Amino acid sequence: MKKLFIGCITVITVLMGLAGCNSERTTYEGPNYLMFSDTLYRYAVQETGEVFNVPVSATVLADYDRTFAVEVVDSISDAVEGKHYRLLSNTVTIKAGECSANVQVQGVYDNIDIDDYLTVGLRLVIPKEEQWSLYGIDSKVILQKACPFDINSFTGYCKVTSTFFDDYMQNVTMRLIKTSVNPEKENSVILHDLYYNGHDIVLDFDRDNLLEPLVSMEEQVCGTTAEAFGTIYGDGNLLMYQPTMYTSYYSTCEKFVLQYVTLHVNGVGTVGTYVNILEWISDAEAEKLKEQGY
C-alpha cells in the first residue's frame, strides 16, 4: 500500500543536500489532483453495522464545493453490491475550504461468511486533468467478518492439540482441559492443566485491532522436567513463553486459538518451539470425548 495523503498536502518532496543531512521543504504549487488517500483498506464488518470511511483527498483547496461520482469496478471486485455491502452514496463532496471527504461503505454482516475475504473495487469518476497518473484513481476495500468478542466464549471445555505432544507426550494426541476467566485481568483466561495436571497457563486476548486478533502470554511454568523428560534438569521447571517471531492469534467466529510457544529450562537451554491449537467445544461434545477416554 502507498499512503498518499492525510489531510491537505502541503509538502511533496524533501531535497537532500549533497553534504550533511540538511533538508529543505517545498510547498506544493502544482495542479489540483483528486485521489483516494490509499490504494488498499481492510474493513472489519461487525454485526453492529459500523460504516467504513474511504478517504478521498485533493491536492489544492478550493473556495467551492466539489462533487464527483464514485463507481464500483466489477473487474477488481468479488463482493456483491446489495448483498455483501452497500455503497451509501455514489457521489462524494469535498466542501469549500476543505481538501478531503469520505466515500462510505457499509458491510452486510449476515451475508459474509467467517472465512470470506471479499474485495470492493472503487474508482473516482473525475476529469482527466484531475487524475494524477502517479497514483491512479482506484482503491480496494477488503471486507472481513469480525464476530462479537465475549471472553466467556473462551471458557469451559477446550480441546488442545500440540506438536509438543508428538515429541514428548507420544501417547497423547489431544488433551481435554477446562478454562476459566482470569479474575485478575481483563480479556484473559486461565488454561487449567494445559500440558500437565497442576500447571495452569494464563492467556491474554488483544482487543486493540479487530483485524489482528492476537493472543499473548508471559513466561510461565507449564510443567516439570521430570514429567517431560523423566529426570530433573536445572531447577526442575519447564518454562513456556510466546516467541515474537511468529504470529499467534484467535478467532471469535470459530472460537479457537493458534499459538506458538517456546519451551526452555533455566540454566540448561531451549527445548524447542511448538504450535498449540486450542478449540472451545460444548459440554455435550466434551462428554462424548470423555466417553472415548479423554
- The CATH number for 49's domain is 2.60.40.1740
Least confident of 26-40, 127-141, 253-267: 26-40
Provide the pLDDT confidence category of residue 78 given band limits of 50, 70 and 90.
very high
Whether the per-residue pLDDT at 155 is higher than 70: the answer is yes
Q: CA 285, CA 137: separation in Å to the nearest integer? A: 52
Same domain for 179 and 215, yes or no, is yes
Backbone angles phi, psi at 117, to 5 degrees: -140, 80
Q: CA 119, CA 96: separation in Å to the nearest integer? A: 32
In a domain, 58, yes or no: yes
Provide the pLDDT confidence category of residue 12 given band limits of 50, 70 and 90.
very low
In a domain, 231, yes or no: yes
In a domain, 5, yes or no: no
Stretch 12-34: mean pLDDT: 50
**Three cell numbers written together for 36:** 483516494
What 8-state DSSP symbol labels residue 146?
-
Total residues belonging to the chain: 294
Question: Of the candidates 145, 172, 187, which is a domain's last residue?
Answer: 145
Residues 6 or more apart whose CB falls under 8 angstroms from that of 71 comprise: 90, 122, 123, 125
Instruction: List pLDDT tens digits, range 179-200.
Output: 999 999 999 999 999 999 999 9
Element housing 168 (H / E): helix 163-168
Cα 197–chain centre separation: 33
Torsion 105-111-114-115 (CA) sign: negative
Q: CA 33, CA 273: separation in Å to the nearest integer? A: 51
Other C-beta atoms within 10 Å of 241: how many?
A: 15
In a domain, 1, yes or no: no
Whether the per-residue pLDDT at 87 is higher than 50: the answer is yes
Q: Which domain holds residue 36?
A: 11-145
> Residue for cell digits 521447571?
237
**Cα separations (Å) of 258 from 157, 163, 175, 277?**
16, 12, 15, 5
- Per-residue confidence (pLDDT) for residue 121, from 0 to 100: 98
Instruction: List pLDDT tens digits, range 241-254.
Output: 999 999 999 999 99
In a domain, 6, yes or no: no
- The CATH number for 179's domain is 2.40.128
**Three cell numbers written together for 64:** 467551492
In a domain, 4, yes or no: no
Same domain for 140 and 160, yes or no, is no
Same domain for 136 and 228, yes or no, is no
- Per-residue confidence (pLDDT) for residue 134, from 0 to 100: 87
Burial class (CB in 10 A: 0-12, 13-18, 19+), 213: buried
Beta strands 51-58 and 40-45, pairing class: unpaired
Stretch 230-243: mean pLDDT: 96
In a domain, 61, yes or no: yes
Instruction: List pLDDT tens digits, range 88-145.
Output: 999 999 999 999 999 999 999 999 999 999 999 999 999 999 999 888 999 999 999 9
Kindly report the pTM of this predicted structure: 0.82
Burial class (CB in 10 A: 0-12, 13-18, 19+), 43: buried
Whether the per-residue pLDDT at 270 is higher than 50: the answer is yes
Whether the per-residue pLDDT at 24 is higher than 70: the answer is no
Same domain for 172 and 125, yes or no, is no
Least confident of 5-19, 70-84, 147-161: 5-19
Q: Evaluate whether 70 touches 92 at the Cβ level (below 8 Å).
A: yes
Provide the pLDDT confidence category of residue 1 given band limits of 50, 70 and 90.
very low
Same domain for 136 and 36, yes or no, is yes
**Three cell numbers written together for 285:** 461434545
- Per-residue confidence (pLDDT) for residue 170, from 0 to 100: 80
Element housing 172 (H / E): none
Does residue 147 or residue 28 have the better pLDDT? 147
Does residue 22 or residue 85 have the better pLDDT? 85
- Per-residue confidence (pLDDT) for residue 28, from 0 to 100: 62
Same domain for 167 and 261, yes or no, is yes
Provide the pLDDT confidence category of residue 11 given band limits of 50, 70 and 90.
very low
Domain count, the chain: 2
